């Protein structure tokens, strides 16, 4: 009877929700079995699969913190990095519909005095352009500060952009800047930060109680920590969760596997029968924001050709896939939904030892199972065999990149060996009017240390007045250049393109 029903529906061009749910159930079980073939998949890993009306699989394994041995659970808030963009993208459409901040308004409408590099006209670039990575400028220092150091004052954005931005080639180019600018404008226009808007307009209506744009909403012991793999001899080092100051709008949300299921179901249901959302809203939020030449040279290994307000639009065996990944020091995640298959999937890893490759391949493997492709098991075995080799090669490559960076000419072969008395000259407090907190340089035993809000690092002498800052065991040194006045006294330091003055 079921076969006959399927043939009737196939002939009519429709789908049976029951049959699709059964297919998702089978694919989810197969994917869970697939994960058992990765004994090195540590410390924690999560997999959630949904259809519009069913939580098909909510699987977690391992630890949320390798030091405390606390387990990862289905209610553990996990950092999802750049997947935040899709959430902010939906918020933007919701606020557009409410008339709070129109997507067709321009940079010049909000910052009429803004001067962009290369004679770029601010009146030609809209909020939609920002959310689809079309604004043709780089402002790397701003982006780095927001992601790794501190929360900048939204009122200072125009000045920082004018001070540090450079023109780039026109067209789509993925980065964090557009989302950072959009939420700065949102804060200016409404007097309310983006974190609060997300809470009120997205998380609360969906009852996502283990989701927030502020890590301080949860105890540190409850959050998943990120982890960096140092090798078989040293194992993992646990990286504390981001502070609120680093939870920026391009990568600033923690969520649980249970809550992500609600988010994915919202998209599969197209907002129908969900309070605070509508079919019209969801359709507009999923519309293509920009297209580009199709390519499979991306972290997902799929043919992608567009971007839709926080979602990459890709194809898998003729099925359109909306997806977005997230990566940060010690974490890799990905989420996706496939409208025609009526299925959504989220994959979480709290380490970065080739888990970007792994999460993307887990998604691909699940989709192979979903369409019942005959080569699925062959692909599974190949991936299981490849993973340990990739972990080893990845660690080797990281060490090579560090060695290459340390070998650059600017470091002068690291020959400068100042005495403690010389290092004392750099100790002090440094200020910049656009930076919210002072930068502190201190001397601990024989080493200088620098703290810039949430970022802390050791300063290694290279050549006189130039130090290399490292803030993680596998981090490459960042140049920190001090300056002197006419009397040869240390008077400032250049950090993230900004010149700080010693007080």
> Tokens representing 9?
């529906």
State yes or no: pLDDT of 299 exceeds 90.
no
Q: Does 302 lie in the same domain as 262?
A: yes
Region 346-375: what's the mean pLDDT? 93
State yes or no: pLDDT of 18 exceeds 50.
no
Region 377-398: what's the mean pLDDT? 94
The Cβ of residue 413 has, within 10 Å, a number of other Cβ atoms equal to: 10
Confirm whether 382 is domain-assigned: yes
Confirm whether 2 is domain-assigned: no
State yes or no: pLDDT of 7 exceeds 50.
no
Q: Phi and psi (nearest 5°) for 273?
A: 60, 30
Cα 291 from Cα 133, distance rounded (Å) = 11
Region 105-124: what's the mean pLDDT? 97
Total length of the chain: 503
Q: Which residues contact 267 (CB under 8 A, 6 or more apart)?
A: 282, 286, 322, 337, 344
State yes or no: pLDDT of 371 exceeds 80.
yes
Q: Phi and psi (nearest 5°) for 52?
A: -55, -35
Range of the domain at 462: 409-502
State yes or no: pLDDT of 432 exceeds 90.
yes
Residue that is last in its domain, among 351, 376, 398: 398
Q: Is the distance from CB of 175 to CB of 136 less than 8 angstroms?
A: no
Cα 304 from Cα 393, distance rounded (Å) = 27
Question: Residue 20's pLDDT band (boundaries 50, 70, 90)?
Answer: very low
pLDDT value of position 11:
36
Question: Which CATH number goes with the domain that contains 472?
Answer: 2.40.128
Cα 426 from Cα 441, distance rounded (Å) = 7
> Tokens representing 165?
């931005």
Question: Residue 472's pLDDT band (boundaries 50, 70, 90)?
Answer: confident
| CA distances, 489 to each of 34, 238, 448, 466, 486 (Å) | 62, 39, 17, 14, 7
Q: Does 223 lie in the same domain as 186?
A: no
State yes or no: pLDDT of 412 exceeds 60.
yes
| CA distances, 280 to each of 63, 165, 286 (Å) | 40, 37, 10
Residue that is last in its domain, among 398, 422, 442: 398
Give me the percent of the chain exceeding a pLDDT of 70.
96
Q: Write out 308-334 in H/E/C secondary structure.
A: CCCCEEEEECCEEEEEEEEEECCEEEE
Q: Does 352 lie in the same domain as 229?
A: yes
Confirm whether 52 is domain-assigned: yes
Confirm whether 7 is domain-assigned: no
pLDDT value of position 10:
36
Confirm whether 354 is domain-assigned: yes
Q: Is the distance from CB of 172 to CB of 129 less than 8 angstroms?
A: no
CA torsion 59-297-148-436 (nearest 10°) is -120
> Which of 16-30, 199-213, 369-383 is predicted least confidently?
16-30
CA angle 381, 386, 389 (to 5 degrees): 150
Q: Does 108 lie in the same domain as 78?
A: no
299 exposure class (CB count in 10 Å sphere: 0-12, 13-18, 19+) = middle
Instruction: Quote the number of domains for the chain.
Output: 3
Question: Which CATH number goes with the domain that contains 219?
Answer: 3.40.710.10
pLDDT value of position 21:
37
Closest to 458 measured CA to CA, from 432, 419, 423, 494 = 423
Q: Phi and psi (nearest 5°) for 339?
A: -55, -45
Q: Is the dihedral of CA 277, 281, 282, 286 positive or negative?
A: negative
> Which of 182-191, 209-218, 245-254, 493-502 is predicted least confidently?
493-502
pLDDT value of position 273:
84
Q: Does 427 lie in the same domain as 283?
A: no
Closest to 366 measured CA to CA, from 340, 389, 393, 338 = 338
Q: Does 280 lie in the same domain as 334?
A: yes
Confirm whether 251 is domain-assigned: yes
Residue that is last in its domain, among 398, 430, 452: 398
Q: Which residues contact 32 (CB under 8 A, 6 or more apart)?
A: 47, 57, 59
Higher pLDDT, 358 or 6: 358
Classified as helix, coil or strand, 23 is: helix
State yes or no: pLDDT of 233 exceeds 70.
yes
Q: Does 80 lie in the same domain as 97?
A: no
pLDDT value of position 372:
84
Q: Does 136 lie in the same domain as 284?
A: no
Q: Phi and psi (nearest 5°) for 361?
A: -75, -30
Average pLDDT, the chain: 93
Strands 226-229 and 236-239, sheet pairing? antiparallel
pLDDT value of position 476:
94
> Tokens representing 21?
């749910």
Question: Residue 3's pLDDT band (boundaries 50, 70, 90)?
Answer: very low
Q: Does 324 lie in the same domain as 251?
A: yes
Q: Does 381 lie in the same domain as 313?
A: yes
Q: Does 114 lie in the same domain as 47?
A: no
Confirm whether 12 is domain-assigned: no
Region 71-79: what's the mean pLDDT? 98
State yes or no: pLDDT of 4 exceeds 60.
no
Q: Is the dihedral of CA 246, 252, 258, 259 positive or negative?
A: positive
Q: How many CA atoms lie within 13 A of 219 on its CB side?
A: 2
State yes or no: pLDDT of 458 exceeds 60.
yes
Question: Which CATH number goes with the domain that contains 148?
Answer: 1.20.58
- Start-to-end CA distance of the chain, whole Å, equals 82
Closest to 31 measured CA to CA, from 16, 19, 9, 46 = 46
Cα 429 from Cα 199, distance rounded (Å) = 36
Confirm whether 72 is domain-assigned: yes
Q: Is the dihedral of CA 376, 382, 384, 387 positive or negative?
A: negative
pLDDT value of position 301:
82
Region 290-314: what's the mean pLDDT? 93
Indicate the DSSP class of residue 373. -
Q: How many CA atoms lie within 13 A of 262 on its CB side?
A: 20
Q: Does 129 lie in the same domain as 217?
A: no
């Amino acid at each position: 009877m079921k076969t006959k029903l399927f043939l009737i529906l196939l002939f009519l061009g429709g789908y049976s929700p029951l049959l699709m749910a059964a297919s998702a159930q089978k694919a989810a079980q197969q994917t869970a079995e697939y994960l058992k073939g990765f004994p090195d998949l540590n410390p924690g890993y999560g997999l959630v699969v949904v259809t519009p009306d069913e939580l098909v699989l909510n699987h977690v394994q391992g630890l949320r913190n390798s030091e405390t041995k606390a387990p990862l659970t289905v209610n553990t808030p996990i950092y999802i990095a750049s997947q935040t963009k899709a959430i902010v993208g939906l918020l933007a459409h919701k606020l557009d519909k409410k008339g709070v901040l129109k997507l067709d308004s321009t940079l010049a409408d909000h910052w009429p005095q803004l001067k962009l590099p290369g004679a770029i006209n601010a009146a030609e670039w809209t909020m939609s352009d920002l959310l689809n990575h079309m604004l043709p400028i780089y402002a790397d220092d701003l982006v780095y500060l927001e992601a790794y150091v501190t929360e900048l004052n939204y009122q200072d954005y125009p000045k920082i952009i004018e001070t540090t931005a450079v023109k780039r080639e026109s067209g789509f180019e993925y980065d964090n800047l557009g989302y950072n600018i959009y939420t700065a404008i949102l804060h200016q226009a409404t007097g309310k930060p983006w974190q609060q808007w997300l809470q009120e307009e997205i998380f609360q209506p969906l009852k996502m109680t283990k989701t927030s744009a502020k890590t301080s909403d949860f105890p540190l012991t409850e959050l998943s920590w990120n982890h960096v793999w140092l090798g078989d001899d040293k194992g993992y080092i646990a990286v504390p969760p981001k502070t609120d100051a680093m939870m920026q709008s391009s990568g600033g949300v923690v969520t649980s596997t249970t809550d992500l299921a609600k988010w994915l179901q919202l998209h599969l249901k197209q907002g129908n029968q969900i309070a605070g959302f509508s079919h019209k809203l969801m359709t507009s939020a999923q519309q293509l924001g920009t297209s580009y030449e199709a390519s499979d040279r991306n972290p997902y290994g799929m043919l992608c050709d567009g971007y839709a307000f926080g979602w990459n639009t890709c194809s898998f065996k003729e099925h359109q896939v909306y997806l977005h990944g997230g990566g940060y020091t010690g974490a890799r995640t990905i989420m996706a939904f496939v409208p025609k298959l009526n299925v959504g999937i989220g994959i979480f890893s709290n380490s970065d030892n080739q888990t970007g490759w792994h999460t993307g391949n887990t998604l691909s493997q699940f989709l192979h199972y979903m369409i019942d492709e005959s080569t699925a098991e062959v692909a599974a075995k190949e991936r299981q065999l490849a993973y340990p080799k990739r972990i080893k090669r990845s660690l080797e490559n990281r060490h090579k990149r560090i060695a290459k960076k340390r070998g650059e000419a600017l470091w002068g072969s690291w020959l400068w060996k100042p005495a403690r008395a010389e290092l004392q000259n750099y100790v002090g407090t440094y200020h910049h009017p656009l930076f919210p907190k002072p930068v502190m340089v201190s001397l601990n035993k024989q080493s200088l240390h620098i703290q810039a809000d949430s970022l802390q690092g050791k300063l290694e002498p290279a050549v006189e007045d130039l130090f290399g800052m490292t803030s993680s065991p596998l981090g490459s040194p960042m140049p920190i250049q001090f300056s002197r006045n006419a009397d040869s006294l240390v008077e400032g330091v250049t950090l993230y393109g900004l010149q700080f003055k010693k007080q």
